[in-house]
Chains A and B, each alone.
Chain A
Amino acid sequence: MEYFLQQLINGIALGSIYGLIAIGYTMVYGIIGMINFAHGDVFMVGAFIALISFLGLMAIGVTFVPLALILVLVVAMLLTSAWGWTIERVAYRPLRSSFRLAPLITAIGMSIALQNFMQVAQGARVKPLQPVITGGFEMFEGDNFAVTLSNIQILIVLTTIILMAVFWLIIDRTPLGRSLRACEQDRMMAALCGVNVDRTISLTFVMGAALAAVAGLLYLLYYGVIDFFIGFIAGIKAFTAAVLGGIGSLPGAMLGGLIIGLIETFWSAYFTIEYKDVAAFSMLALVLIFFPSGLLGRPEVEKV
């Protein structure tokens, strides 16, 4: 029982990170109907920016950890958003009116380019970071097994909840959110009603990238080690999460992220750790076969 509880906590922390990345996928898919394949690598770039800015702040003497983390968060969100914006501008916008496969191919190309750019720029070795946030609570002790809730896990879940709340407010209450939802429903009609579609799509990418940067920072703090390849697997799993929750639905993305995180953690804990990715991917296939529109998604109506 204690073991189960511990895995539940771990799974929720991991799932929160997946959920943050999944939002980027689900928003982009909702608005322009493409799989932003490079999003996982934007997450990776965000993690690298967080790592470097954190080390930089330490080097110039900002050693008060909460202040450093907030600064890192701001820097990472800003710079990663710039990456998200640029990728959309360079690789997707010229192809927006083209056929459906074209942006997917440029997205795959961007993903390859970003991975290898980071490998060239920062080296192929894994980048360790000594634990920044340590400690935690021992919730209760069972027979020779203590359930701990570490501070970093609390931080991850809290950050995710706060960001989700802010994000939900943006989507639900601001003019930007309104135009975003309008573009999602009907881009042509939105344009006719005076919504600047290009700007809205750009902002979607910017917000997705900013959330991916937060996920990158949390991943870095949680695992303490990153490399140029983390974006691929995390990206696929986050996409799985987005599909699982119902693509286009924000709460669905979060829910899907949590489910994927839990499946992965429990599978590693009770079965074999080697096949944890297989578990997540099989889940994806099963969900798509039996609930093609995901858990919270709207069924796709085909108009002839």
Chain B
Amino acid sequence: MEPPVREKPRLVPALIDAALAAGLAFLLFCLVLGVRTVDGVRGLTLEPRPVLLAVVVGIVFIGRLALNLFWWDRDWRFPKLPFTGRSEKATGARAAGDIYRIGLILIGLAAVFPLLGLVLNNVFGANLPLLYLIDLSILVLTYVMLGWGLNIVVGLAGLLDLGYVAFYAVGAYTFGILATTFGWSFWMCLPLAGILAAFWGIILGFPVLRLRGDYLAIVTLAFGEIIRVVLQNWTELTGGPNGISNIPEPTFFGLEFAFRGDNTFHQFFGLPYDPVYGSIWLYYIIFMLALITNVVTLRLRRLPIGRAWEALREDEIACRSLGINTTLTKLSAFATGALFGGFAGSFFAARQSFISPESFTFIESAIILSIVVLGGMGSQLGVAIAAVVMIGGFEALRHTDSLQLIFGAGFDPTLYRMLFFGLAMVAIMVWRPRGLVSTRQPSVTLHKDAGAISGDLVSEGRG
């Protein structure tokens, strides 16, 4: 049978719709964008910007028109991404294998990347900006680790935590304070920081875990803010808004990465001094920490406790009727997530060598949570990809000069970074509400060949 011939886009309704959208855009932007407040001699004065307003309204008009004519009425579709969408049993099994293989390849690439860069630069004379690349990768990996840590709480146990950064802060300040007052080394403080963060997770979690869903979210947010305010004001211990500086870097089996000193890395190995060695060492530390987080999570999923977490996410009432102690289960998820947050925090302190309450604002929690949700809750690979896209992509934006060619020399991409970040969160969520990798791996299966569960069938916890 002939497919019914689709009526081609009708121009007049599209034009009317676009005009309405442009009119709305004019209403929205006429005052806040069309006029700028400038500090004058006697208070604020106004400076109209009609051209900018016209440009923005014009963009909305043309964009909406184009969407109407060419997008919403299109008769072609995107090719499907692998391991997403509706999957039959067979394709599900394949998708599961795909995820595993892609994960291994990514881990392999991440493992050799800095050494490869070093070899390329030193042996083959390539001129890669290695220090910058490695610093960026360290940043991305920190967020991968945080995302994986939070994934235990949000993705596995289904508890919405908006104050995860509090545990990150506890870890960072534990190391910062111990290192600067007692001179303890990174390797001594790392487990302590994790344990202390987990301890705080239990303390904070104990009273609030009776709450469900959004209430839990808002209370965790409140606790995150409380910890930040305390850090900001307890000047004797935390240095207040000035923070803690001169935190030592982690040593390589006792060797320092300083330019001069008694026991430096480059002297011991007879190498010329290069700051990149220190960065590479930091890179491997965070790489190992992230990997540990991942392996522990994957193993925990198969233990009774992990299964209890996932059962809790799916249905709390059923869990309780089956005799699972929900409070204890929730608390263990909270504490495990906090533990990894604490590890990441103490690494962050060691890497920055300076910490202040400014690094632990709510926006950090929001970024980590958005990484987890955008990646696909419960999916380790998705979280890693989301971290690379969100953090790497936006850091890269900071250094792009090509944008200045488009928007003129005065264009400063750093100003627009968070604006794009927020809009991208909305856009990705609307585009793929289930996250980038939406399939889920069942932790217990009846048959050997049972594969991933499609995102369409996955339910989410009510906290």
Q: What string of 1s and 0s marks CB contacts (under 8 Å) between B443-463 and chain A?
A: 000000000000000011010
CB-based contact A302/B317 at 8 Å: yes
- Residues from chain A with Cβ under 8 Å of B31 in the complex: 48-49, 52-53, 56, 75, 79
> In chain B, residues 19-37, which have Cβ atoms closer than 8 Å to a Cβ of chain A?
24, 27-28, 30-33, 35-37
Complex CA distance for A105 and B435, rounded to whole angstroms? 11
Determine if A263 is an interface residue (Cβ-Cβ < 8 Å).
no
Interface contact A94-B419, CB-CB below 8 Å = no
Residue pair A48, B32 in contact (C-beta under 8 Å) = yes
Tell me the chain A residues, 244-280 only, with Cβ under 8 Å from chain B: 272, 274-275, 277-278
Name the contact of A281 in the complex, choosing from B30, B222, B421, B433 (C-beta under 8 A). B222
B11 at interface, CB cutoff 8 A: no
A240, B46: Cβ atoms closer than 8 Å = no
Q: Which of A121-129, A153-161, A172-180 contacts B (4 or more CB under 8 A)?
A: A121-129
Most B Cβ at <10 Å: residue of A94, A111, A125, A285: A285
The residue in chain B whose Cβ has the minimal distance to the Cβ of A277 is B229
Interface check A101, CB cutoff 8 A: yes
Contact of B37 among A35, A75, A127 (CB under 8 A): A127
Q: Which of A29, A110, A274 has the most CB of B within 10 A?
A: A274
State whether the Cβ of A236 lies closer than 8 Å to any Cβ in chain B: yes
- The reply to whether B218 and A113 form a contact with Cβ atoms under 8 Å apart is no
Which A residues are in CB contact (< 8 Å) with B27?
Answer: 78-79, 82
Evaluate whether A109 and B426 lie within 8 angstroms (CB atoms) in the complex, with A122-B32, A128-B43, A240-B222 already known. Answer: yes
A56 engages B433 (CB within 8 Å): no
Hey, which chain B residues are within 8 Å of A43, CB to CB? Answer: none
Is B170's CB within 8 Å of the partner chain A?
no
A292 with B211: CB separation less than 8 A: yes
Would you call A278 and B366 a contact (CB within 8 A)? no
Q: Are B28 and A82 in contact (CB under 8 A)?
A: yes
B412 → chain A closest CB, angstroms: 10
Cβ–Cβ contact B213 & A243, under 8 A: no
Interface contact B215-A292, CB-CB below 8 Å: yes
Cβ–Cβ < 8 Å partners of B199 in chain A: none
Are A112 and B215 also in contact (CB < 8 A) when A129-B44, A281-B225 are?
no
| A residues less than 8 Å from B246 (CB atoms) | none
Question: Measuring CB to CB, which residues of chain B are less than 8 angstroms from any residue of chain A?
Answer: 24, 27-28, 30-33, 35-37, 39, 43-46, 154, 160, 207-208, 210-211, 213-215, 217-219, 221-223, 225-226, 229-230, 232-233, 317, 362-363, 366, 369-370, 373-374, 377, 415-416, 418-419, 421-426, 429-430, 433-434, 459-460, 462
Using a CB-CB cutoff of 8 Å, which residues 47-86 of chain A contact chain B?
48-49, 51-53, 55-56, 59, 75, 78-79, 82-83, 86
Cross-chain contact of B207 among A55, A82, A98, A289 (Cβ < 8 A): A289
Contact A86 B24 (CB under 8 A): yes
Cβ of B12 to closest chain A Cβ, rounded Å: 22
A90 within 8 A of B: yes
B233 touches A99 (CB 8 A): no
- Given A49-B31, A292-B210, 11 more pairs with CB closer than 8 A: A82-B24, A100-B462, A102-B433, A112-B425, A116-B418, A121-B33, A123-B37, A275-B230, A288-B208, A288-B219, A292-B215
Is A151's beta carbon under 8 Å from chain B? no
Contact of B46 among A55, A101, A130 (CB under 8 A): A55
Which residue of B232, B416, B418, B429 has the most chain A CB atoms within 10 A of its CB atom?
A: B429
Are A106's CB and B430's CB within 8 A? yes
The answer to whether A122 and B36 have CB atoms under 8 Å apart is yes
Instruction: Name A's B-contacting residues (CB within 8 A).
Output: 29, 33-35, 45, 48-49, 51-53, 55-56, 59, 75, 78-79, 82-83, 86, 90-91, 94-95, 98-102, 104-106, 108-123, 125, 127-130, 232, 236, 239-240, 243, 272, 274-275, 277-278, 281-282, 284-285, 288-289, 292, 302, 304
What is the distance, in angstroms, from A126's C-beta to the closest C-beta of chain B? 10
- Chain A minimum-CB-distance residue to B204: A285
User: Lowest 3 CB-CB distances: which A-B pairs, in order?
Assistant: A109-B425, A113-B422, A112-B422
* Contacts A102-B433, A277-B225; A121 near B36 (Cβ below 8 A): yes
Complex A-B: 23 CB contacts under 8 Å:
A29-B214, A52-B31, A55-B45, A56-B46, A82-B27, A90-B426, A90-B430, A95-B430, A98-B433, A100-B462, A112-B363, A112-B419, A112-B421, A114-B422, A117-B419, A120-B416, A122-B37, A130-B43, A239-B218, A243-B215, A272-B233, A275-B230, A284-B219
Contacts of A275 in B (CB 8 A): 229-230, 233
Closest Cβ of chain B to A20, distance in Å, is 19
Q: Which residues of A contact B374 (CB under 8 A)?
A: 105
Q: Are B35 and A52 in contact (CB under 8 A)?
A: yes
Task: For A113, list chain B residues within 8 Å (CB).
Answer: 418-419, 421-423, 425-426
Tell me whether A83 and B28 are in contact in the complex, defined as CB-CB below 8 angstroms, given that A98-B433, A101-B377 are known contacts: yes
Residue of A nearest to B421 (CB): A112
Q: Is the CB of B33 within 8 A of A105?
A: no
Q: What's the least CB distance linking B315 to chain A, in Å?
A: 9
* Chain B contacts for A285, CB-based, 8 A: 207-208, 219, 222-223
